Amino acid sequence: MDLVEIAPPEYDVDIELLYATDGNFTGKPVYKTPICYLHKDAADALKKTIIYAAELDFRIRIYDAFRPSEAQWVLWDHTPDPDFLADPRRGSPHSRGTAIDLTLITAEGQPLEMGTGFDAFTPRSHHGNTDISKIAQQNRLILLGIMTLAGWDFYRNEWWHYQLFDSRNFPLVSDKEVPNPMMPPS
């Protein structure tokens, strides 16, 4: 198993896995157990991300990382929108442990203005959208710069989503394969 748990103090991040709460687009928890995992290669890139963000006096808040294939089906069954969700038949980079949904926060823990919230399935969430405030545009560009420098690729429709460039080369991972299952019993 090439997934590693992302948690302080080894990773100086704020973790707020929204799919473990009802504060996500489905309106109910998807994960029973909120554990943040990434593939070890993505975890290495995250370490660089943390360093580059800290150089600008920012920290990282993680909204989602590894997402079991079973969770991808739950999201897809709720909202089968290929502009914002990977079809689980093809597999998501999240289900490979090679994608992360995140934002920048201040040292005090306040998220930077990004123009929309996480999982706002609207064109305003697209990278480069100019129908948001100038400060939100600047903040998205700062995040994009940090993530690119750390070795991540972006998804054009979601300012919060980044993945390794070769994500599709990694195998899909089921909830049954992780050390501590995240999904509720079926």
pLDDT tens digits, 59-111: 999 999 999 999 999 999 999 999 899 999 999 999 999 999 999 999 999 99
Q: Is residue 39 part of a domain?
A: yes
Q: Are 35 and 173 in contact (CB under 8 A)?
A: no
The CATH number of the domain holding residue 163 is 3.30.1380.10
Q: Is residue 186 part of a domain?
A: no
Q: Is residue 183 part of a domain?
A: no
- Does residue 158 carry a catalytic annotation? yes
Cis bond before residue 29 (omega within 30° of 0)? no
Please state, in angstroms and rounded to a whole number, the distance separating the CA atoms of residues 27 and 87.
20
Q: Is residue 74 part of a domain?
A: yes
pLDDT (0 to 100) of residue 185: 86
Q: What is the DSSP string of 2-36?
A: -EEE--TTTS-EEE--GGGSS-STTSS-S-SS---
Mean pLDDT across the chain, nearest whole number?
96
Number of domains within the chain: 1
Q: Is residue 96 part of a domain?
A: yes
Q: Is residue 182 part of a domain?
A: no
Residue 108, domain extent: 3-177
pLDDT (0 to 100) of residue 186: 73
Pairing of the two strands 3-5 and 158-164: unpaired
Q: Is residue 113 part of a domain?
A: yes
